[in-house]
Structure 1
Amino acid sequence: MKTKGIIKQIFQEHFNRFWEAKKEKFPEKMREHLLSEVLKMLHCGDVTLGFVAYICMQCFEKIKVGFSCKSRFCNKCGKKYISGRIYREADDAHTAKAF
């Protein structure tokens, strides 16, 4: 079984306490969105929220792969988002970028 990433584990252990103590420091309009993104990240890949099942046709072993959260905040999904964006932009020679 796959182990959780260290960042996800830190969030699971400490986020609720942090949020209750510090949520007032974030602008009110952003609080719902921030909480939503963190919760998405925490449930990313959870098979209880949906999955795709793969079956080996030789040994009939079943493997469940949980759906991703697709949040840019998530380490796994955010990396895929950025990597895909860089790849797409590298193909476009006429894109202007401001840094």
Structure 2
Amino acid sequence: MNKITIKMILEHKWYEFKDKLSYRLPKDMREHIFNVVEKSLHCGDINKGYAEYMCFNCGEGIKAGFACKSKFCVKCGRLYTLKWVEKQQENMLNVVHRHSVFTIPE
């Protein structure tokens, strides 16, 4: 069974959808949406920029494409969410909580 990802769906249908969407949105909103989607489509693409890491022992190198750092991107958005959750857990008090609701009679 082939695994279909959100990125695959975007790559396959984005430009067709973009043509239908372009005339319905205000220009500033349209440009923002298009930029965010385009960034996520090219996330990790070494043709858009990369860092190269080389092993000093064997001389083998690998290229790692730059991340888009967009919340819309499946990979970068998930990483952002995980970091946010971790930060929220650090801010929470380590105590037993009780919940009470107070109402005011009419």
| Same-fold call, TM cutoff 0.5 | yes
> Within 2, Cα distance between the matches of 1:29 and 1:47?
29
Corresponding residue of 2:52: 53
Amino-acid identity (%): 38
Alignment correspondent of 1:40: 39
Aligned length: 90
| CA distance, structure 2, for counterparts of residue 24 and residue 62 of structure 1 | 46
Amino acid at match of 2:34: L
Considering fraction of residues, name the structure with more helix: 1
Find runs of 4+ consecutive structure 1 residues off by over 4 angstroms. Answer: none
Q: Distance in 1 between matches of 2:26 and 2:77?
A: 23
CA distance in 2, matches of 1:30, 1:22: 11
TM-score (norm 2): 0.75
1:23-73 C-alpha deviation (Å, 9 max, x unpaired): 334454421111010000011111122111111223211100011000000
Measured in 1, the distance between the counterparts of 2:11 and 2:40 equals 10
**Superposition RMSD in Å:** 1.8
Provide the C-alpha distance between the structure 2 equivalents of 1:10 and 1:87, rounded to a whole number of angstroms: 30
* Runs of 5+ consecutive residues of structure 1 not aligned to the other structure: 95-99
Q: What pairs up with 1:1-99 in 2 under 5 angstroms?
A: 6-93=5-92
Tell me the SS of whatever aligns to 2:63: strand
Distance 2:45 2:56 in 1: 25
Which sits farther off after the overlay, 58-67 or 22-31?
22-31
CA distance in 1, matches of 2:81, 2:5: 20
**Which runs of no fewer than 5 residues in structure 2 stay unpaired?**
94-106
Equivalent AA in structure 2 for residue 66 of structure 1: G
